[in-house]
Structure 1
């Protein structure tokens, strides 16, 4: 068999494999990283508390990229940028992926902060939630600063005041998150927020979110995780 024929067969096999991969996929991700001419992208998910790569993309001359993956249900994914020799603290962005077409527009200079993701209703809700959640985080940082200053010259009255302010802030954040989750219980972001943002909230709140989920959401990855988590929480509380 000649070398040309062998190469032709390999090319056909590779093409078929790629076509099969795309036909099996239910999520089509396209994107553009302005300013990037060379590097590597890693599309990752969290599995057993560890980042696991589900796709890798080489960037060489063209800042545009695409990926075809399959998801059983909507899931928070992470796009990590390997710049090569240069490093940056801004090399990772996360987005709530779901079946369909998702587009990511961002820049090399501000990979995370400039990112605009379209095509995912769950991600749209995440952006809406995060805009308010950032305010809670900013208030918390101010309290942390006050706490650190008070440690230099300890004052019990000031310490008590800071702790009271922190507890009030925490209640506000938890109630807002629980309300947001219940209000959007027809989307997978509801159980995700319950698990990632308020997992240690009082069980009745988690129970309300769980019971508010639609049957489809309850069968999703995060829906199943929330159901199992609430079940275990209740079992532990009964034993006490």
Structure 2
């Protein structure tokens, strides 16, 4: 009987150590396939520096679960410290929301293979990234043609490439603005406007700002967008 009691105590301790008694309004679980040992850091951008909200040690099992607190939906970063292994593929950015979220990925393709669920804002953000990816592919094609033309110096080709680049830039701004305008109730809308088209025509930014739902307008990124528009208006008037 004494042995059974001891086993129960150890099982309870092991269960507690898995979650480390962490509390918070975000319950994050996931798996990094292939990772046997390392450390995961959940980071938040404050001003220009990344601040660690939580850390998770991986030893043996590649799955993890944790809890942490956020004031509102926002972009966070899951950083992998691989130890001695060097890689540029060490960070996943995800739009966190209070509730249950899951991040599943692999050690070899930490960012590229990441699948993130449980956040409506992130689901919307992924739709935007698909549009952005197509535009980036077009831009890369033009850069490749530009490089090939450097030796030939064909003026007609140069003019054609420059025209296409200008049109592509206009399309990028219009697509991004339109995307923010059709998703005004999400906090990701002002985030996209700030990070992708901050230098756009003030009328476009103002329209996005005025279209935001009260919840999105009062969010961190909604306030930052409003502040940015005021600053640009003041600078352009002087």
Q: Deviations over 1:174-198 (max 9, x none)?
A: 1111011010010011100000111
SS in 2 for 1:71: coil
Relative to the length of structure 2, the TM-score reads 0.88
Pairing of 1:83-94 with structure 2 (within 5 A): 83-94=82-93
Alignment-derived partner of residue 77 in structure 1: 76
Task: Provide the rounded CA distance (Å) in 2 between the counterparts of 1:117 and 1:80.
Answer: 15
1:27 aligns with 2:26: yes
1:58 aligns with 2:57: yes
Range 126-135 or range 63-72, more displaced: 63-72
C-alpha displacement of 1:103: 0.6
Relative to the length of structure 1, the TM-score reads 0.88
C-alpha displacement of 1:50: 2.2
Alignment-derived partner of residue 3 in structure 1: none
SS in 2 for 1:54: strand
Report the number of matched residues: 222
C-alpha displacement of 1:72: 1.4
Range 193-202 or range 148-157, more displaced: 148-157
SS in 2 for 1:88: coil
Q: CA RMSD in A?
A: 1.7
Alignment-derived partner of residue 196 in structure 2: 197
C-alpha displacement of 1:94: 1.1
1:132 aligns with 2:131: yes
Q: Deviations over 1:41-72 (max 9, x none)?
A: 11112222222222111101111112222111
Q: Deviations over 1:99-134 (max 9, x none)?
A: 111111111121111111110000000111111110
C-alpha displacement of 1:153: 3.1
Structure 2 spans left out of the alignment, 5+ residues: 1-12
Structure 1 spans left out of the alignment, 5+ residues: 1-10
Pairing of 1:84-163 with structure 2 (within 5 A): 84-163=83-162
Task: Provide the rounded CA distance (Å) in 1 between the counterparts of 2:72 and 2:216.
Answer: 9
SS in 2 for 1:96: strand
